Structure 1
Amino acid sequence: MSIAVFLIMLYSLSYAMQVVPLSVAYGLWSGAGTVLTAALDVIMFHESFSIGEILGLG
């Protein structure tokens, strides 16, 4: 499962790099990965965010 998700992410990054510059595409890819990982942490493990964590993700 994780290999399939990783391949989808790489395909999405390569597609985004055709439309926007590398610096923008990679920055968005990195940021989205961080935010989605935090969201999955809340959903799967029922973690809660503190104000500092929310501001850090923002």
Structure 2
Amino acid sequence: LDDYEIMLDEVEGLGSFIEVEKRGEDYGPQELIDFLEGLGVKGSETRSYLEMALEKRAGSV
């Protein structure tokens, strides 16, 4: 876990999120996916909280 920075966010009106970044050398996205699946995390979200909030406000979420 020392190679990863893990943030847990609770965003009002949107829910709970985990954000993970790997420190150091280059890596591929599959490495992060494998790491998260190993922790039991499923699914991913690439939109920003602002994008999700605006879409929810517009009724498209």
Fold match, TM over 0.5?
A: no
Which structure has more relative contact order (CA 8 Å, sep 6+)? It is 2
Name the one with the larger helix percent.
Answer: 1
Point out the structure with the larger strand share: 2
